[in-house]
A and B are shown apart, each in its own frame.
Chain A
Amino acid sequence: MLFYFIRRLGLSVIVVVLAVTILNVMLHLVPGDPAVMILGPRATPELIAKTREAMGLDRSFPMQMAIFFGNVLRGDLGRDVFTDRSVTTIVMEQLPYTLMLITASIAWAAALGIPLGCYSALHRNTWLDKITGVLSVSTISIPSFVMALYALLAFAVGLKWFPAVGAGEGFADSFHHLVLPAFAVGISWVGYLARIVRASMLEVLGETHVRMARAFGLRERKIVVAYALRIAVLPAVTLIGAGVAYLLSAAVFAEVIFARPGIGALIVKAVDSRNYPIVLGCVLVTTGIIVVATLISDLVNAWLDPRVRENL
Chain B
Amino acid sequence: MKVAYWPGCVSRGFTAELHGSMAAVAPMLDIELVELDRANCCGAGVIAEHSQELADTLNARTFALAQQEITQGADLMMNICSTCQGAQSECQQRLDASAEYRAQVNETLADEGLEYQDGIINKNFLWVLVEEIGLDKLKTLVKQPLTDLRVGPFYGCYIVRPTDRLDINRAQPRDEYLGQVIETLGGTVIDYAGSHKCCGFPIITMNKEASLEQAGRHLADATDAEADCLVTPCPLCHLNLDLQQPMAAKQVGRDLNMPVLHLPQLVGLALGISPKELGLQHHIVKPTSVIDWSQAVVGGVSGW
A and B interact: no
